[in-house]
Amino acid sequence: MRNAKLLLFPLATVVLAVIVALILTWMTATPDERDEMSQWISEHTGQEEPEGTRQIEWDALPDAVVAWVEVPGTAIDEPIVQADSGYPDYYLYANVVGEGGYGTPYIDCDCSLEGPLTIVYGHHMDDGSVFADFARFSDRDYAVDHREVIVYVREGDRRVELDAVAVDIVNASRETLRTEFDDRADFDSYVREAVEESDLVLEPPQDLTHLYAFSTCSYQTGNSRTVVYAIEKGGGL
């Protein structure tokens, strides 16, 4: 028994190191490399799942990861963390284990997954990874073909299915996304205006309770951002 106890800590350390290494490898891999990794895991573990039944192994991820976003048919397949008001831009450069790198998609420190507005920022990498494909939503045909956005929420192990409803190209030097509202009417007015005046509207605005905004860099100007607005399926806008 004593020997077993002595081995427990080294073994746990090795397992943790392997998990961290896998996360870092995934986050720095190109889309093609990720496809190869997923195929290899499925073939060697027998854990290939039928379409639409994907499960996120939350216990294998750092506590900082509060959600995961996937856009079927694109390279967007990323963990999401929650920014802290004390260090609002920390995850611009830090990965999910707090080390330097390409950053991690993160929720604005003044927002949360509980709504009513959830803003998620992610880098536009030259290799097409992270949120680069959100910038392609400025093309109507591409946006229509990839409207489905899936957010897996750690708390309650929930799967939230979204539809993209509008795409806006903003100059971040002059335009910002609001995160505070005086009341419900103020929020509704802001959302309606933001969506109706977007460069591309896929679905006319109606009443809603929760709006998601996925933001990434784009290159229409020196400081452009593409913002993809999305709502829960069947929820109206």
Q: Give tens-digit pLDDT for 66-109.
A: 999 999 999 999 999 999 999 999 999 998 888 877 899 999 99
Q: Which residue matches tokens 């192994």?
A: 57
Averaged pLDDT for residues 185-193: 87
Would you say residue 7 lies in a domain?
Answer: no
Beta pairing partners, 68? 79, 152
Would you say residue 2 lies in a domain?
Answer: no
Would you say residue 190 lies in a domain?
Answer: yes
Q: Could you give the CA distance from residue 213 to residue 166 in angstroms, rounded to a whole number?
A: 10
Could you tell me the sign of the dihedral formed by the alpha carbons of 130, 140, 199, 161, in that order? negative
Would you say residue 170 lies in a domain?
Answer: yes
Q: Could you give the CA distance from residue 145 to residue 143 in angstroms, rounded to a whole number?
A: 5
Q: What is the largest CA-CA distance in the chain?
A: 68
Q: Average pLDDT, whole number, for the chain? A: 81
Please tell me the least confidently modeled range out of 46-50, 107-111, 118-122, 142-146: 46-50
Q: Determine the pLDDT at residue 16.
A: 41
Whether residue 188 has pLDDT greater than 80: yes
Q: Determine the pLDDT at residue 37.
A: 56
Structure tokens at 80: 């999401």
Q: Determine the pLDDT at residue 219.
A: 79
Helices (H) and strands (E) counted in the chain, each on its own, are 4, 9
Please tell me the least confidently modeled range out of 36-50, 127-141, 176-190: 36-50
Angle (CA) 118 188 171, round 5°: 60
End-to-end CA distance of the chain: 61
CATH code of the domain covering residue 78: 2.40.260.10
pLDDT band with cut points at 50, 70 and 90 for residue 31: low
Averaged pLDDT for residues 136-156: 97
Q: Could you give the CA distance from residue 65 to residue 215 in angstroms, rounded to a whole number?
A: 18
Would you say residue 225 lies in a domain?
Answer: yes
Would you say residue 161 lies in a domain?
Answer: yes
Q: Determine the pLDDT at residue 45.
A: 38
Would you say residue 101 lies in a domain?
Answer: yes
Q: Could you give the CA distance from residue 208 to residue 46 in angstroms, rounded to a whole number?
A: 41
Q: 225, 127, 130, 120: which is closest to 179 by C-alpha?
A: 120
Percent of the chain surpassing pLDDT 90:
49
Q: Which residue matches tokens 């397949």?
A: 77
The total number of structural domains that make up the chain: 1
Per residue in 197-222, pLDDT (tens digit) is: 899 999 876 777 889 999 999 877 67
Would you say residue 117 lies in a domain?
Answer: yes
pTM for the predicted model, two decimal places: 0.77
Q: What is the domain extent for residue 213?
A: 52-232
